[in-house]
Amino acid sequence: QQLLLPHDPKLPPEVFHLVPFFGSAASFGNDPLAFFDSCRRKYGDCFTFVLLGRKMTVCVGPKGSNLVLGGKLSEVSAEEAYTHLTTPVFGQGVVFDCPNHRFMEQKRFIKFGLSQENLQAYVGMISEEVANFLNYDAQFTAFREKDATSWSPFHVLRTTSEMTILTASRTLQGKEVRSHIDSQTFSRRYADLDGGFKPINVMFPDLPLPSYRRRDRAQKAMSDFYVGILRNRQAEKGEQEHDMIASLMGQAYKDGTPLSERDIAHMLIALLMAGQHTSSATSSWILLRVAENPEVGERLYNEQVEHFRNADGSWRPLTYDELKKLPVLDSVIRETLRLHPPIHSIFRKVMSDIAVPPTLFAPSEDKTYIIPKGHFVMASPAASQIDPLIWTDPLKWNPARWADAAGAAAKYYSTYYDAGEKVDFGFGVVSKGTESPYQPFGAGRHRCIGEQFAYLQIGTILATLVRNIEMKLTHPFPEPNYHTMVTLPKEPCNIMYRRRSEA
Ligand code: HEM
């Protein structure tokens, strides 16, 4: 069909493919960033490809991100793009299974729960969980034996997944969830829910497969589990907790409707799923990069010593306020999220025709394209984050790029093309706008609300680990695996560790 029908010049150029329906699924699925890069060279910054029968129009670069992430509600819809994936897993009435203004209110309720006071309380809980993990996990026997000479391996993905769920349940999810984390019932339900939260579920929402049935059963059981916790808390009226359950109980929408038990239960499941893979993938990439660059591990360690070591050699506990002021730690997380953002592309369904202005394109383009209703639009912050037009030496993991000469964190040096002009940003504080070239947490109305929590969780895990162990990599740095919901390191991904003699 593609060969026979002339291409409508008003539409963005379409990527050539041989197999109808399947389209460019293999190239996109195997390596979306390489695919975007090669299409961008051939077709410019706005092009359409076929993905399992859907027309996906990619808008690359910061201007493309602006078009997708800053798009009007009448033009682009996240709920139409994602609800088939999220509603069977999170449950009804929340996130994309309610009108957008409702979801925006739900995001506001969650923000209340991430108050300074709660975040402050979480730091100690997270470092305690990590220290406990080192004291019981089978991979860390050498650590417990106080063996500071020989190196032993740990599997980075398994370790960070466990640390992430343990620390998120201890803090956000609350003590009842934490006490069930190790139970077989909870693990099985979580695994079944997770089994229904995969790329295949985005493309094929309803298949008669056992994994879909297991997902539905697990969702119901998980929802009942959370409702049980709420009812117990209401009956017991115990002391005020610092978790999300406590902060969501008693909230009401602007029209006076209280948040129902099921809303709260389903919001908690949504938070569990939204934070687990993103944070554990990020922690994995960070540990791998630190292990690959042991001198950075030493800088992280020295930063801890400088800020938190007492004269007698003992450690002062980490605090939230101080954690935010550690430039080496901050730049390591920030740089890893630039090079290894867990979410490589973000998409929306087009609800009404969108006119793409010529300014989206490279300087020589001068026409307006129409992205028609029914297409999906896709932005790729991950592509902008390694764009050589924007970043110096973009594929090099270099935390120092975030520090200016005086060592202040959260800065970047960049240039990029704006309507044909090379714009020099110089050193600037990272913009949070929809047109920023750095968006690991997205932008616009669907921007992540978990960023502060993720920085705190990942920063505390990393600080606690570098206080206790040295790390190195003895195999090549792992390639990214794009076939999973978030971008994960491929196998092998083991890190060699050795107990610090001072630990
Ligand atoms: C949205 C990334 C951790 C909760 C997003 C989006 C991105 C993102 C890119 C935008 C998605 C879109 O526009 O379609 C990340 C990364 C994380 C992280 C890189 C960790 C390193 C978390 C955590 C939580 C969370 C820990 C919960 C505590 C959410 C929620 C949304 C969101 C509720 C809003 C979705 C929407 O409005 O459509 N995140 N996230 N995230 N994230 Fe995160």
pLDDT of residue 481: 97
Distance 441 CA to ligand 1 centre (A): 6
Q: Which of 404, 405, 451, 460 is nearest to 432 (CA)?
A: 451
Residue nearest to atom 36 of ligand 1 (CA): 446
Q: Inter-axis angle of helices 156-168 and 451-468, to 10 degrees? A: 120
Domain shared by 202 and 144, yes or no: yes
Domain shared by 113 and 128, yes or no: yes
Q: Which of 78, 58, 76, 56 is nearest to 360 (CA)?
A: 58
What's the average model confidence in pLDDT over 264-274? 97
Cβ neighbors of 421 (< 8 A, separation 6 or more) are none
Name residue 355's amino acid.
A
> How many domains does the structure of the chain reveal?
2
Distance 1 CA to ligand 1 centre (A): 39
271's torsion region: left (phi>0), alpha (psi -120 to 50) or beta? Answer: alpha
DSSP state of 371: E
3-state per-residue secondary structure call for 209-234: CHHHHHHHHHHHHHHHHHHHHHHHHH
- Residue-number span of the structural domain to which 368 is assigned: 1-69+346-379
392 found inside a domain: no
Any bridge partners for residue 346, and if so which? Answer: 379
423 found inside a domain: no
With a 6 Å cutoff on the Cβ, whether 280 touches ligand 1 is: no
Distance from C-alpha of 336 to C-alpha of 290, rounded to nearest angstrom: 10
Domain shared by 18 and 152, yes or no: no
With a 6 Å cutoff on the Cβ, whether 275 touches ligand 1 is: yes
CATH code of the domain containing 27:
3.30.43
206-215 contact pairs (CB < 8 A, 24+):
206/84, 212/88, 215/88, 215/89
Q: What is each CA distance from 245 to 42, 58, 64, 279, in whole angstroms?
A: 51, 38, 38, 20
109 found inside a domain: yes
With a 6 Å cutoff on the Cβ, whether 437 touches ligand 1 is: no
pLDDT(301) > 50 = yes
DSSP for 404-423, please give it. Answer: -TT--SSEEEEEEEETTEEE
Domain shared by 265 and 287, yes or no: yes
247 found inside a domain: yes
32 found inside a domain: yes
Domain shared by 54 and 164, yes or no: no
**Which of 126, 278, 280, 488 to mutate for ligand 1's pocket (most ligand atoms within 8 Å of CB)?**
278
pLDDT of residue 6: 67
434 found inside a domain: no
CATH code of the domain containing 192:
1.10.630.10
Residue with tokens 């017991």: 236
pLDDT of residue 363: 54
Query: pLDDT of 377-433, one tens digit each?
Result: 999 999 999 988 778 788 999 988 776 533 333 334 333 333 334 333 433 334 447
Query: What torsion, rounded to 10 degrees, do the Cα atoms 32, 38, 42, 44 define?
Result: 60
Query: Mean pLDDT score of the chain, rounded to an integer?
Result: 90
Distance 135 CA to ligand 1 centre (A): 31
Domain shared by 178 and 103, yes or no: yes
Domain shared by 59 and 203, yes or no: no
Q: Which region among 28-32, 168-172, 418-422 has the lowest average model confidence (pLDDT)?
A: 418-422
- Ligand 1 atom nearest to CA at 69: 13
76 found inside a domain: no
Residue nearest to atom 29 of ligand 1 (CA): 448
pLDDT category, 499, cuts 50, 70, 90? very high
**β pairing state of 411-418 and 421-429:** antiparallel
Q: Which region among 135-149, 244-258, 433-447 has the lowest average model confidence (pLDDT)?
A: 433-447
Query: pLDDT of 107-150, one tens digit each?
Result: 999 999 999 999 999 999 999 999 999 999 999 999 999 999 99
pLDDT(98) > 80 = yes
Distance 281 CA to ligand 1 centre (A): 13
427 found inside a domain: no
Domain shared by 28 and 124, yes or no: no
With a 6 Å cutoff on the Cβ, whether 346 touches ligand 1 is: yes
Domain shared by 275 and 186, yes or no: yes
Q: Cis bond leading into 317, ω under 30°?
A: no
Domain shared by 49 and 190, yes or no: no
Domain shared by 285 and 165, yes or no: yes
* 448 annotated ligand-binding residue: yes
Query: pLDDT of 310-356, one tens digit each?
Result: 999 999 999 999 998 898 998 899 899 999 999 999 999 999 999 99
Domain shared by 44 and 110, yes or no: no
